[in-house]
């Protein structure tokens, strides 16, 4: 079996690539390496350094003709989408259309799309199901929702099979410390550098935080299940930003100073996704508690920090 993972050098994508290779699947990566990192890439995967908006990306897909295409490459920064809506739309809409059309022409068996809880906007629901109205509060949410609509219409018109996975807030090893979605990574980066941690708003905003390995497990399940479905991948548990900081304080063993700042434009106050559909259609359950996921991420970051320090001192001694 052959698959292509767009964004396979990135945070979630690289973990997915690892899991696919562990299952004996031939994996190709499409990534322009603007945010993806070469050090994330599994050596058994084949990297194609191309942009999803380019003709070169289409040619890669046509040449490989994979059995499945995972589309994870995206502009995922909410703040950047508000500031640069055209840039956001070009990547998330035009880029998706480019690879989707290539998949149709290459007769790819299935198109699996990484979407987001941001499509719902600021709903006041205690917990959100897939049937809720979608009223995005940012251009990021809007561009992802628009891409979803194109994917569904490609099935209606061309029978291009798909599964759309709407992720809750993903965290874990290899996540870059930027953007709302990367809040755990941002906090861990500040812990490493020392000094206070900035909290946008009052810290009472809640998210459904899901560990990256649980997201990967849902993506693997979607290879064979969930055809023509839009499915939320989440824990169905609310956790506030202040709760995250309290848990990290416990893991870190040292009190963390917090500085509260103004809320960011386009941010959502509360978001929690029901995962019943994923349990039923994907035969999937989240395996990690928030405590276990944070501890594993913290340990990974500490080890990475230690490895970097060791390499630095070794270079100094050699130099």
Per-residue pLDDT reduced to its tens digit, 9-64 = 999 999 999 999 999 999 999 999 999 999 999 999 999 999 999 999 999 999 99
- Would 198 be classed as within a structural domain? no
- Would 216 be classed as within a structural domain? yes
pLDDT band per the 50, 70, 90 thresholds, residue 309: very low
pTM of the model: 0.91
Highest mean pLDDT among 56-60, 75-79, 246-250: 56-60
Helices assigned H by DSSP within 70-207? 78-83, 85-89, 95-105, 139-158, 183-193
Residue 140 annotated among the catalytic residues of the structure: yes
- Would 199 be classed as within a structural domain? no
Q: Which domain holds residue 97?
A: 2-171+209-235+275-287
SS3 54: coil
Kindly tell me if the per-residue pLDDT of 211 is higher than 60. yes
**Cα–Cα nearest to 206, from 249, 243, 246, 251:** 243
Domain count, the chain: 1
pLDDT tens-place string over residues 80-94: 999 999 999 999 999
- Would 269 be classed as within a structural domain? no
Q: Which of 70, 140, 171, 298 is catalytic?
A: 140
pLDDT band per the 50, 70, 90 thresholds, residue 306: low
How many Cβ atoms are within 10 Å of 178's Cβ, its own excluded? Answer: 16
Cross-strand pairs, 69: 4, 111
pLDDT score at 11 = 96
- Would 263 be classed as within a structural domain? no
- Would 306 be classed as within a structural domain? no
Residue 80's CATH number: 3.40.50.720
What are the DSSP E strand ranges found in the chain? 2-6, 26-30, 46-48, 68-71, 110-116, 162-167, 169-171, 197-200, 206-207, 209-211, 229-233, 239-240, 258-261
Cross-strand pairs, 66: none
- Would 280 be classed as within a structural domain? yes
How many Cβ atoms are within 10 Å of 307's Cβ, its own excluded? Answer: 10
- Would 36 be classed as within a structural domain? yes
Q: What H or E segment, with its residue span, contains residue 17?
A: helix 11-22
């Amino acid at each position: 079996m052959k698959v292509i993972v767009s964004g396979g050098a990135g945070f979630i994508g690289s973990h997915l690539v690892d899991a696919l290779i562990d299952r004996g699947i031939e994996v190709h990566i499409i990534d322009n390496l603007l945010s993806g990192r070469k050090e994330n890439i599994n050596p058994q995967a084949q990297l194609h350094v191309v942009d999803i908006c380019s003709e070169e990306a289409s040619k890669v897909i046509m040449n490989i003709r994979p059995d499945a295409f995972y589309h994870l490459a995206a502009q995922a920064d909410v703040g950047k989408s508000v500031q640069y809506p055209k840039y956001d739309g070009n990547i998330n809409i035009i880029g998706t259309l480019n690879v989707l059309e290539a998949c149709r022409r290459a007769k790819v068996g299935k198109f699996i799309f990484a979407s987001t809880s941001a499509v719902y906007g600021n709903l006041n629901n205690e917990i959100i199901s897939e049937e809720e109205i979608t009223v995005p509060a940012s251009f990021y949410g809007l561009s992802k929702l628009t891409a979803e609509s194109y994917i569904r219409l490609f099935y209606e018109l061309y029978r291009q099979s798909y599964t759309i996975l709407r992720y809750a807030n993903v965290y874990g090893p290899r996540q870059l410390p930027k953007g709302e979605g990367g809040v755990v990574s941002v906090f861990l980066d500040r812990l490493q550098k020392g000094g206070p941690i900035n909290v946008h708003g009052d810290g009472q905003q809640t998210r459904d935080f899901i560990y990256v390995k649980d997201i990967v497990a849902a993506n693997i399940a979607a290879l064979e299940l969930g055809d023509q479905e839009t499915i939320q991948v989440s824990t169905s548990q609310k956790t506030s930003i202040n709760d995250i900081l309290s848990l990290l304080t416990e893991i870190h063993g040292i009190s963390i100073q917090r500085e509260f700042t103004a809320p960011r434009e386009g941010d959502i106050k509360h978001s929690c996704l029901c995962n019943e559909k994923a349990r039923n259609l994907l035969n999937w359950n989240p395996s990690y508690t928030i405590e276990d996921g944070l501890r594993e991420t913290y340990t990974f970051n500490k080890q990475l920090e230690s490895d970097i320090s060791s390499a630095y001192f070794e270079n100094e001694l050699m130099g």
